[in-house]
Structure 1
Amino acid sequence: MGVTLDLSRAPAAGAPTSAMPNLAGLSRAELAQALIDAEVARPDKARMRASQLWRWIHHYGLTDFAAMTDVAKETRAALAEKFTLARPEVVERQISRDGTRKWLIRMAPGIEVETVYIPDVGRAGALCVSSQVGCTLNCTFCHTGTQALVRNLTTAEIVAQVQIARDDLGEWPSPKEDRRLSNIVFMGMGEPLYNLDNVAQAIDIIADNEGIAISRRRITVSTSGVVPELGPLGEKTQAMLAISLHATNDPLRDKLVPLNKKYPIEELMAGIRAYPGLSNAKRVTFEYVMLKDVNDSAAEAKALVKLLKGIPAKINLIPFNKWPGSEYECSDWKTIEAFAAILNRAGYASPIRTPRGRDILAACGQLKSESEKMRASERRKLAAE
């Protein structure tokens, strides 16, 4: 089938064995204060020391204090006694025949998420990051939505997904040119706006110019429409906004995206129009999964044009990705192309998203953690269909 799988149990890169604080999720100010509280740095030296550590952690990707050569040996020993930089355990790593990579990451016992790297997306390649373990939204077309919410991810756990991807891609220290991981999309497991504080702090860390240094204009947060948090998202992060829309009327969206019952389309669109910084240079991306005989008619396309009138937007048309037990089928290609043509004629960029990583269940809407995964034989059968 042309599928390359690496299912070996990857050893944890120094997986935490204690409850020591992980410095990777702290802001600069929090890092300085942690050093003071642990009596590792005097108050007058804490800011300088925090800046040193910041570059080692986020620019060079170090996980060992002993390798921080410009920090005094006794200070390095004190740091190792009080703190950790360990990555979570990579339980499983898979590579699709199209180059997509997926990691199953164990944050703690029973706490697992999936993270996906997609090459040739954005400037060079995009990392699809999870913000929760499981999800509360129960979108009927989404595999992740069938897994109950376990908890929000911490800032350190969100940042760790980026660090693990960069470990695997060999992208330390942070490159200025020719980087393979150029974009971050919060489109993995969970609803980011139900974990906004940790998502926002993670974005601050990821975007910091002396660290990972991925521009906020290359960071996109996708939401199913938690309307009260749209404004705070824009104000706190300046990230690009994506809306998981999938329908143009309330009765259908109530079924596909049950959150719509709480925040119906009219309210959602008002919130989008008020999103901070919205402009032709900062368009909203609307995600629209193509479901056969459900939302893929010409009438639906025309209704979508009418709904988005006046909003700087582009529309990603997403062929539905099958998963076991789903009631839906993907629209046929001619139908998707006809739908896109109507949007294009109305002046909207409407790329049809090429399905990536389907053979390893890494495509949009397919992510689930290990305890919920199907057997490899079932995955192979799906990939052959």
Structure 2
Amino acid sequence: MNNLLDYTLEELKVWMKENNENAFRAKQILSWIYKGINDFNGMKNIPKSLITKLEENFTISLPNIIEVYKSEIDGTEKFLLGFEDGNLIESVLMRYKHGNSICISTQVGCRMGCKFCASTINGRVRNLSSGEILSEVLVVQNYINERISNIVLMGSGEPLDNYDNVVKFLEIVSADYGLNIGQRHITLSTCGIVPKIYELADKEFSTTLAISLHAFSDEKRKEIMPIANKYTIDEILKSCKYYISKTNRRITFEYALVKDVNDTKEDAKSLGKLLKGMLCHVNLIPVNEIKENTFKRSTKKSIDNFAEILKSYGIEVTTRREMGSDINAACGQLRRSYINTHEIGGE
């Protein structure tokens, strides 16, 4: 059975024609799904004969909500979602004045090996399909009965390691027949798979690209990010400049501050020199401490000093406000703790 969420409008139109149905029915069916109707019999303007065909050929497959944890600090909600094959992923809903944002996963686990991230500890289990990525948005939106207006692909997994499915997701979620979430309201975070950055740039989407940089030199970056052994910072920056030239979009550089590793004034000055003059901004992230490593977060004074030095180089800087710190809201933490205390497949 095919998951209907994996289909674009054009693909469903083709299926309709091949099955002797009117192509216009495709848009009607998808409009029901994106209104939250997950039962073919609830699609009131679809003929019974077509409903029978749909039931024989398709599912509308949404993950089960296994657990929901709500922060008492800021209202952030962490969703542990389970697929039919027993695999678990996490999505995080963050509420802001400008609307609801969701941080979603693109893979079960991750194989990038970044030392500060819990998602990658046991590697990648499998990719999510475009429909499975989309289903994270749908199931949370249905749960809260409110519209989600911003998406961040920054949960478990490396989006560009699942390139084809992620690109298809971006096309569907931003389409007027889909959830119609503008690409300018979508951020894709990558550790820097250079060839795929070029490919994504050539798509000329208006998606914001966020690069997990976390160091100013290749030597220092290799200490915390294995991807640095494959692609140099210089190669990443060249691909980012190409992305800017194709999309005219500002790049975000994410920098997780680790005490006594990459948070000194000299680190800040070197990063400032590296990025000076580029259409970018730096998002400083106090590192999430996990028991699997010895990384400690920088002091507030170090973070503030780091930000001021970058600003002196003309670089716009923000410090990420920690969300859901009381509910293990960092990538992979909840899934891992749940697996460790339950007999769950997929590991």
Equivalent residues of 1:288, 1:315 under 8 A apart:
yes
- 1:132 maps to 107
Q: Shift of residue 345 of structure 1?
A: 2.4
**Letter matched to residue 114 of structure 1:** E
**Residues 1:69 and 2:44 are matched in the alignment:** yes
Determine the C-alpha separation between the residues in 2 that align with 1:368 and 1:235.
Answer: 36
Name the SS of the counterpart of 1:351 in structure 2.
strand
Name the SS of the counterpart of 2:266 in structure 1.
helix
Q: Shift of residue 104 of structure 1?
A: 1.2
- 2:192 maps to 225
Distance 1:367 1:184, change over 3 A: farther
- 1:102 maps to 78
- 1:118 maps to 94
TM-score (norm 1): 0.84
Provide the alpha-carbon RMSD of the alignment. Answer: 1.9
Determine the C-alpha separation between the residues in 2 that align with 1:92 and 1:359.
Answer: 15
Alignment of 1:196-235 (within 5 A): 196-235=163-202
**Residues 1:26 and 2:2 are matched in the alignment:** no
Alignment of 1:174-323 (within 5 A): 179=147, 181-236=148-203, 237-275=205-243, 277=245, 282-323=249-290
Equivalent residues of 1:290, 1:317 under 8 A apart:
yes
Determine the C-alpha separation between the residues in 2 that align with 1:314 and 1:221.
Answer: 15
Report the structure, 1 or 2, having the larger strand content.
Answer: 2
Give per-residue Cα distances to partners, 1:60-86, cap 9 Å, x unaligned: 121011111111222223322321113
Equivalent residues of 2:277, 2:314 under 8 A apart:
no
Give structure 2 stretches of 5+ with no counterpart. 343-347
Equivalent residues of 1:220, 1:239 under 8 A apart:
yes
Determine the C-alpha separation between the residues in 1 that align with 2:116 and 2:40.
Answer: 45
Determine the C-alpha separation between the residues in 2 that align with 1:324 and 1:108.
Answer: 30
Distance 1:261 1:153, change over 3 A: same
TM-score (norm 2): 0.93
Distance 1:93 1:368, change over 3 A: closer
Determine the C-alpha separation between the residues in 1 that align with 2:49 and 2:85.
Answer: 33
Equivalent residues of 1:216, 1:238 under 8 A apart:
yes
More off after superposition, 340-349 vs 286-295: 340-349
**Letter matched to residue 315 of structure 2:** Y
Task: Determine what percentage of the aligned residue pairs are the same residue.
Answer: 38
Equivalent residues of 2:5, 2:131 under 8 A apart:
yes
- 1:88 maps to 63
Q: Shift of residue 161 of structure 1?
A: 0.4
Determine the C-alpha separation between the residues in 1 that align with 2:65 and 2:79.
Answer: 7
Q: Shift of residue 30 of structure 1?
A: 1.3
More off after superposition, 93-102 vs 79-88: 79-88
Name the SS of the counterpart of 2:209 in structure 1.
strand
Equivalent residues of 1:188, 1:367 under 8 A apart:
no
Distance 1:367 1:36, change over 3 A: farther
Residues matched between the structures, number: 340
